[in-house]
Copies of this chain bind each other. A is one copy, B any other.
Amino acid sequence: MTRISIVGGSGYTGGELLRLLLAHPEVEVVQVTSRSRLGEFVYQTHPNLRKRTTLKFSSPDQLEPVDVLFLALPHGQAQTKIEHYAALAPKLIDLSADFRLRDAAVYQKWYGSPHAAPGWLDKFVYGLPELHRTEMAGAHYISGVGCNATASNLALLPLVKADLIETAPPIIIEIKVGSSEGGAEGNPGSHHPERASVIRTFSPFGHRHTAEVMQELGLPNVSLTMTSVDIVRGVLATAHATVKPGVTTKDLWKAYRVVANENPFIRIVKEQRGIYRVPEPKILAGSNYADLGFELDESNGHVVAMCAIDNLMKGASGSAVQCMNLMLGLDETTGLEFMGLHPI
């Protein structure tokens, strides 16, 4: 059994990771840390784990060496102690934003302060298997992914990979998200009477995850518009782009099928009948699937490309476990088989 610890286990990403690893047949969870809940049972914070584990939160200052170390800390913390963490395990996956960008100047532009460990940036593989599967096999350090970036990257992946869209004109990505994306700490705007029933555009453009889309897809002119709606889990990214002259719906089908065939967690959802004709995060809670769809207006080349994910799964902890599987030479779907629920 591969021995695993999680640093920062009281947040939503850490809790989801713990849930997945407790059920994973090839690993054993050794420690989960939390300063604020030190000594408490993990199921008091993550009530779904009741009767499944008697683990208690331990101190981050008393970490034992393990085979794989996951960091699920708030952004900005991992980079200040990365040497320390790397000394504890031969393989490390950091779910924060600290090691997603390859260029320290880009990091500083989007995150507002210099990176504390710029020399480590190019040691990390960006944590989206659909983009970096082969590099992950021998990797020691893998970053997490931004959930909105993941929905955007996967929405556009078939189009970019098959070189079907114009990259110079603006690509507008409208993203609708649930409340868990904001993390486990409350704020005035997350108080239920204020947060219920919202359609609240909290970032018209300039969201930090934009940098991950530009870096990973090589798109120079991308804009993300973020809007909160009344769900807990889920992201839907709707990207508006323009196809190259002569590109048809048939070309798109082909491009999407290639991507769906190569990737076990990519599905195409494009039905002519029934209720579920397009990608929807509703049915993805707890699942690691990314559902893709598209519609092309052949009269003007306007393509609408959609991707739905569970932000805590494919957009965070699910992808991280998938990366771990690839790192360890396991089948990448191990421990990620949950299909999602219908209805929900």
User: Which residues of chain A have a CB within 8 Å of any CB of chain B?
Assistant: 12, 15-16, 19, 22-23, 44-52, 170, 172, 174, 176, 178-180, 182, 184-202, 204-206, 221, 223, 225, 227, 229-234, 236, 238, 240, 242, 267, 269, 271, 273-276, 278, 280-283, 285-287, 289, 291, 293, 295, 297, 300, 302, 304, 306, 308, 337-344
Contact = CB atoms under 8 A, between A and B. Distances in A.
Given A48-B340, A182-B193, 9 more contacts: A19-B341, A44-B274, A46-B342, A170-B242, A172-B240, A198-B280, A202-B278, A230-B230, A233-B343
Contact of A200 (B198, B280, B337): B280
B287 A344 contact: no
Contacts of A190: 186, 191-193
A176 B196 contact: no
Contacts of A236: 199, 201, 227
Given A240-B225, A285-B285, A278 B174 contact: no
Nearest to A337: B23
A201 to B, nearest CB: 5
B227 A238 contact: yes
A276 B194 CA distance: 9
Contacts of A189: 275
Nearest to A174: B174
B206 A12 contact: no
B47 A269 contact: yes
Query: How many copies of this kind of chain does the complex include?
Result: 4
B283 A199 contact: no
B240 A297 contact: no
A267 B297 CA distance: 35
A197 B282 contact: yes
Contacts of A179: 192-193, 196
Nearest to A180: B193
Contacts of A278: 200-202
A232 B275 contact: no
Contacts of A12: 193, 343
Nearest to A49: B339
A232 B191 contact: no
Nearest to A234: B199
A223 B238 CA distance: 13
Candidate in A230, A338, A341 with the most chain B CB atoms within 10 angstroms: A341
Nearest to A199: B236
Given A23-B339, A192-B179, A236-B227, A283 B48 contact: yes
Given A174-B174, A225-B238, A302 B192 contact: no
Candidate in A201, A242, A271, A306 with the most chain B CB atoms within 10 angstroms: A201
Candidate in A236, A275, A308 with the most chain B CB atoms within 10 angstroms: A275
23 contacts: A19-B341, A19-B342, A23-B337, A44-B274, A47-B275, A47-B276, A48-B283, A51-B289, A174-B225, A176-B176, A178-B193, A180-B193, A188-B275, A191-B191, A193-B232, A193-B343, A197-B231, A199-B236, A200-B278, A205-B304, A206-B297, A229-B229, A232-B344
